[in-house]
Structure 1
Amino acid sequence: MDPLARPLPLPVHTFQPDDATGNPLFTLVRLEGALVPVPYMLLPHRKDYYLLFFVKHTSGRHWVDMTPYAHQDNTLYFTNPTQILVNEELAPAWGTYLGFTREFLALQPTAALQDLPLIQNPHHGHQLRLNTTEAAFVEQVLAHLETEYYRPGSWQHQLLSAHMSVLLTYLSRLYTEQLPGPDAAADQRVLTAYQAKVEEHFREVHEVGAYANLLNLSARQLSALVKAQSGKPAIKHVHERLVLEARRLLVYSEQSLKEIAFGLGFSEASYFSRFFKRETGSTPLEYRTSRPPRKMS
């Protein structure tokens, strides 16, 4: 069955703690040629938590936000709660995956990790290719995490946080190397804060001036800083986020164009259609109906 053959509902699968440790915010599973026995993975879905999957070896292909990814060895796949995933098949895998919730990142001392590029994911990326040295380092940190994960107690969160800080910081450096921005070395605190506000409010707030008020800046200040730090006008970040969500809903949901338009804060479906065509070159209906068939392998 083609994972993009028809619009489908968008189930959101919640974080499931591992009974072995009872940790309500963090889970880690090592796979040694096993299948992940989760049938819903073959249907489009979101997860309400962050997922990292270091793949040593597997086969097949999956999709994230309408983009196909052929599985590759020594690759780190990562998703956040906004992205839509669907697997074409369940194949044996060798590697380690870990999941953690927003609440895990909100606690001290992990709260600062929320600002890292891998977590913010401004490019809406999904994979990092690792060379032999990088893969060995990631495996080593994952081994430390696994040891602490199976040692529940009063010190567990602090030690998991310490190893997660190393892992996410290291992967964030790779993220900026493989998905570089115009000025990856610059202080990007304003850009990070702006992108976080856009992610939080894009459905109802479409004006740069409103975001400037939320950040206690003038619209002129915000526009200049965002353009300098990202290379794109501030309004472009809002438009790109609206288009991404519209594309997700057009492909994966059964909502009407009117429902999608109103859900994204447009007062008229016709205005949404004009906006979408201006940004993508096709109308929403053309985009929904003109997707080429893709058969599962």
Structure 2
Amino acid sequence: MNPEMDLFFISPLDAPLQEYFESPDREDYFEIAWLKDEEPIHFIKEGTSRIKGDWLYLIPANRSPRPRKSGKKGTLLAFHKSVLDYEVKEFTLDVIRLFLGKGAGSFSTILLEEEMAVTLESILWIIKDEYEQQQENFLVLKALLKAFLLKLMQYKVQTLTRQGLNEKRVYHFLLLLEHHFREEKAVAFYADKLNITPKRLNQILKQKTGKTITQLLQERLVVEARQQLIASAKTIQEVGYSLGFDDRSYFSRFFKKMTGQTPEQFQKQAKERIFPV
């Protein structure tokens, strides 16, 4: 077998990886750990949702310690840093930037959208096939790896560009919600107004706010219901009707589910606090 093939290592994450993990030159390898339909294994700042999906961990060479990922569903693709020796300088620098996180010696994480996950997985399957044949395929493997990395670089740039766009989408969604939450409770309504699919809008909101469209809508309804129950002369049925609930009992069940109190209990307690006996 071509000794250059040892410059690559590919394995399922849930396979025995002890030999690789204990290798003395492991730190000389760049690692791409692809977690399939898993929660992230790195620290997520407090208040941010731990989204389950396709997570890529890009761990640069000479980085230690490395995050624990064995036993997870997915694939580990590693390549020795010498694989980059004969690449043009600009490409090598781009690879290093791709793998580096925000701090010196850190690693990079990417949550893949479904379409890109399918594209990258198709390349990864070809890489696996070439690797498992264990023939004189080093140049083929190297070319496939380069294609994989270039696609990933392109995706990362597009993602950074879209982040600004997604911030605007969240802002416009919140404006729409403020104007329409009383009468419009269908997710598709808000997605159509923003010219994206309901699934994509939910993904953006989950990433940026930690909540889904439905959760944000329900929370806004509860805020308005509380304000009306305290400050208006409307009956509970009228409050519910003004918020799009045709049935008083349905409104009461919704309010109790969201707050732990019936509208009557909340109203009584709130008025006792404002106007103590």
**Superposition TM-score tier, normalisation by shorter sequence:** 0.3 to 0.5
Answer with 1 or 2: which has the greater Rg: 2
TM-score between the two structures when normalised by the length of structure 1: 0.41
Query: Which structure has greater helix proportion?
Result: 2
Question: TM-score, normalization: structure 2?
Answer: 0.44
| Structure having greater relative contact order (Cα 8 Å, sep ≥ 6) | 1
